[in-house]
Chain A
Amino acid sequence: MSAFILIILSAVFTNNFITVKTYGICPFLGVSKKTSSAVGMGIAVTVVMVLATLVTYPVYNYVMVAHNADGTEIWNFQFLWIIFFIFIIASLVQMLEMIIRKISPSLYNSMGVYLPLITTNCAVLGVTQMFNGVTSLGDIVTGVGTAFTMNIGWALLYALFAGVGFTLVMIIMSGLREKLNCYKTHKALAGFPVAMITACFICMAFMVFSYIKI
């Protein structure tokens, strides 16, 4: 049970993908002008993160790194992970987009536009890369004992809550930017510069979480 809570806290707060790991800055600054689009982006990223983990975790463990029955490596081309993962995730998102478009046009209208944008978003790649060669859950979540061996269930849970953390920061950022729009800012700072300052303060606020020792 504690592993569950630790994964959630770690993925959402202490190792937040935007504010602590600084992945996925492009949607963070680009799609955070309106809360509605920020929520759409966040949900799309969450879905793609989970789906990408679902596919890349077995691909890494059974195709890219193959073991003999006695545990010796037959081959290992882990160094090609970027090319291979981009290739897989991009085509996966392509298929997902086609399917959503056919099955639910309304969902496609609200979320579909964000899907092509995040085919190889660094946050998505980052979350899949995290599980590469990890044998124990304790390696990625501090405070979890080494007794927990890494498996696809933990990986999916981590990916899901990494997406939730992403959405959370997107919503905070877009809310602040919407509020800022109501106020007159200095001409030199209006628009994007003040958004950067806002981003800085959000990151500083999230830094607090990284000092929490569990």
Chain B
Amino acid sequence: MINLLALTTPTTQTWVTLGVVAAIFAGSALLIGALILVIGKVFKVDMDEKVTKIMENLAGANCGGCGCSGCGGFAQKLAQGNCSLNDCHVTSPEKKAEIAKLLGIELTDEEPTVAVVHCNGGVENCADKFEYKGNPTCAACNSLLGGNKACSYACLGCGDCKAVCPEDAIKVSGRLAQVDPDRCISCGACITACPKNIIGRIPASAPVYIACSSNCRGKEVASVCKVGCIACEKCAKVCPHGAITMHDNLPVIDYKKCTGCLTCVEKCPRHIIISRKVVAEETPQTENN
């Protein structure tokens, strides 16, 4: 072993040992350097230039709102043409235009969207299954027998969505969450936070939305909720534009066909197709009261 003190009066032995150590280090450095170079050459990954350029223009929030694993996955899918630019709700329109130029596609102006809670249950309309006295978060409540609401698709009303909303756009009154469409930026934070998956996106100008998420049959829904969709299909039959189709005991509205005639709103026996114009007008009044 090298005696470090001996370095002050170096002997030949010390110099030899030092030389050996230095040589071993230099040798292994050269060897490993060469190995890395060779491996780098052999296992070179051809990065698509397009993808890196798209990545530069994306917001880089890695929010996962597009359904891909982060912005990298989205950029790759975009380059392959497997998804639409409109799936990203975070990137600014200017940056999106640049990406569209890169891809050589037209940026179709899609309307802005807002989040809505597809439930109208609350305390009055949907009974409680049992009394819940645990921690006041939806996630905790949902982990206990799927929450204390009689309907398993009902809003639990503990406000997990409210807690994550960056714009303070969600209000919980009567154990029912509601989104303020004027404040909502459609970031999708509430959609991922909701353990019941009953928050969805609709176009900001949509005239109506469906305030129920229950896939159960009519009889089961009627037994637990006063306002749940009983899948009577009246809305689908009366819609003059054929914009409503039934899917899994729930009406689905095609907003491209919907003209806002509100026939469905009138005919729905459970009043769960809600006209958003009325909601917007009524909200300030209830606040004043």
Contacts and interface: CB of A to CB of B under 8 A. Distances in A.
Interface of A: 63-64, 73, 75-80, 84, 87-88, 91, 94-95, 98-99, 101-103, 109, 181-184
B140 A182 contact: yes
Contact of A87 (B28, B45, B136, B143): B28
B17 interface: yes
B21 A99 contact: no
A184 B32 contact: no
Contacts of A99: 39, 43
A182 B135 contact: yes
B67 to A, nearest CB: 15
Interface in B19-75: 20-21, 24-25, 28-29, 32, 35-36, 39-40, 43-45, 69
Given A87-B29, A94-B36, A95-B36, 8 more contacts: A63-B24, A73-B1, A75-B1, A77-B17, A77-B21, A77-B24, A99-B43, A184-B137
Contacts of A94: 36
B32 A75 contact: no
A190 B184 CA distance: 27
Given A88-B28, A91-B32, A109-B69, A98 B137 contact: no
B35 A95 contact: yes
A181 to B, nearest CB: 7
A88 B33 CA distance: 11
Contacts of A181: 139
Interface of B: 1-2, 17, 20-21, 24-25, 28-29, 32, 35-36, 39-40, 43-45, 69, 135-137, 139-140, 143
Nearest to B70: A109
B76 to A, nearest CB: 10
A183 B40 contact: no
Contacts of B29: 87
A44 to B, nearest CB: 17
Contacts of A101: 43, 45
Given A91-B32, A99-B43, A102-B45, A184 B2 contact: no
Contacts of B136: 184
A102 B44 contact: yes
Nearest to B16: A75
7 contacts: A63-B28, A87-B28, A91-B32, A95-B35, A98-B39, A102-B43, A183-B137
A104 B39 CA distance: 15
Q: Which of A64, A76, A102, A182 has the most CB of B within 10 A?
A: A182
A76 B1 contact: yes
Nearest to A103: B43
Contacts of A77: 1-2, 17, 21, 24
A79 B2 CA distance: 10
A116 B61 CA distance: 22
Contacts of A109: 69
In order of increasing CB-CB distance, the 8 nearest A-B pairs are A102-B43, A182-B140, A182-B139, A183-B135, A91-B32, A98-B43, A76-B1, A95-B39
A102 B43 CA distance: 6
A103 B43 CA distance: 8
A80 B25 CA distance: 10
Contacts of B21: 75, 77, 80
Contacts of A76: 1
Contacts of B20: 75
Contact of B140 (A102, A103, A183): A183
A74 to B, nearest CB: 8
B158 to A, nearest CB: 10
A94 B36 CA distance: 8
A87 B26 CA distance: 12
Contacts of B44: 102
Contacts of A102: 43-45
Contact of B36 (A63, A91, A103): A91
B250 to A, nearest CB: 29
Contacts of B36: 91, 94-95, 98
Contacts of A73: 1
A94 B37 CA distance: 11
A6 B137 CA distance: 45
A98 B69 contact: no
A87 B27 CA distance: 13
A88 B43 CA distance: 20
Given A75-B20, A87-B29, A182 B143 contact: yes
A179 to B, nearest CB: 9
B97 to A, nearest CB: 29
